[in-house]
Amino acid sequence: MWESSVHQCRCPSCNQPGGHPDKELHRNMNLLLRRLDEQQRRLYAALESKRIGHGGDRLLSLITGLNVETIRHGRRELDAGLADTPPDRIRRPGGGRPPAEKKIWPSKPTCST
């Protein structure tokens, strides 16, 4: 059941018949990413992208299914030393969906007969 929800690597090496030595590594990366929250996924992918160097963002996007801009955002956060990233929150204050307000509709007039 869990295996079907893990992202399948779409890198050129994994798509060739016969596979390659990193195929198991890519599968394990996606298993790990499945357990992380969105901030941790972004930062892990950014760290791996920095390790690869030129073309790392695009390759990690193919491996993990994360958007290239998400990985670039994580690289910028790492380059800044995580200065704007609160340690106790997934998103910065003000991020995410605004809270829904409960609307109170005027009651319908009742018929008094």
Closest to 64 measured CA to CA, from 89, 82, 46: 46
Question: Does pTM top 0.85 for this prediction?
Answer: no
Domain boundaries, the chain: 3-79
Tens digits of residue pLDDT in 46-97? 999 999 999 999 999 999 999 999 999 999 999 999 887 777 777 777 767 7
Torsion on CA atoms 88, 92, 93, 96, rounded to nearest 10:
-110
- 């990366």: which residue's tokens? 29
How does residue 2 score in pLDDT terms, banded at 50, 70 and 90? very low
